[in-house]
Amino acid sequence: MQKWSVDIIRGGRAEHLGTIEAPDQREAYRLAIDKFNVPIEHQNRLFVGKLNFEKLDQMADPYAQAHQAIGAFMCEFSKLEHELGEALKVVLGLQTNRSADAIVGLIGDFTRKANIVREAVQTATQAGDVPTSQAWKDNADKTLREVLGCNYPDRIDLAHSHLKPQSDGSVILQRPGKTPETWSTQDLNDKITNLSRLASEVARIHSELNRMNIPVPTGWMSMDNNYLRRQMSDQHWEALKTTFGGTFPGTIP
């Protein structure tokens, strides 16, 4: 429903009466007469105009469109990383583990998370150790390679550049010592749409992996013990070791 501003001319000056919600100007005019009790002899002094909040926002902040797009990008990226984390819980058999979020958080690096899931895609089998189809592996791997591309360079560039929003909705990204790069409004919209699509595709991979047998991947699990220990409470440290039978793959004594 569109909002309309209602004004009336009195004593040679416009007086604002309020706003009306209506599907079109004719209906807004009729509703305004009833709502504000405008007598018939004054109805020709009534003015009803459509409120354009987008233009008002841009007048108040000429960079509002660019700011909104930057925020939308980061929100969609956070959804993608969340879905990747949910897939990782399945890969590591953590669905019912109370420390699952802590473990995923400790793995930390986005690239490492994606590559652990990529390895699982290649080694997972269906019930009865029936191999998955090569087509499924290829499609899932293609999605996860696209996921990696959303993080580097896109997310890293956006997070670590000096951002210069423009009044046309574009954003200039300036990284130290590098040539400025401009993301147009269309670029931003395409990137945001792509992130949303990939989040849905990772959620599908997560659901499919949940029905498969998955050997616990170890190739991407190497971490510095001291770093891990510093990041955890005693409770989470013990829970992590217990989860992996006393030994975190390749690192925790």
pLDDT at residue 5 in the model: 85
Mean of per-residue pLDDT scores for the chain: 85
Q: Would the pLDDT of 36 be above 60?
A: yes
Q: State the Cα angle at 244 between 240 and 246, rounded to 5°.
A: 80
Q: Which residues have C-beta within 8 Å of that of residue 18, sequence separation ≥ 6?
A: 6, 35, 36
What is the pTM assigned to this prediction? 0.67
Q: Report the distance separating Cα 224 and Cα 192, nearest Å.
A: 35
Distances (CA, A) of 60 to 49, 64, 87, 151: 20, 8, 42, 32
Domain boundaries, the chain: 2-51, 62-243
Q: Averaged over 99-110, what is the pLDDT? A: 89
Q: Averaged over 22-50, what is the pLDDT? A: 89
Alpha helix segments (H runs only) across the chain: 25-35, 53-60, 64-91, 100-107, 110-123, 134-149, 156-160, 185-209, 225-230, 234-243
Question: pLDDT digit string (tens) for 196-245?
Answer: 999 999 999 999 999 999 987 765 555 555 555 555 567 666 666 666 55
Is CATH 3.10.20 the right assignment for the domain spanning 2-51? yes
Q: Averaged over 129-155, what is the pLDDT? A: 95
pLDDT at residue 157 in the model: 94
175 exposure class (CB count in 10 Å sphere: 0-12, 13-18, 19+): middle
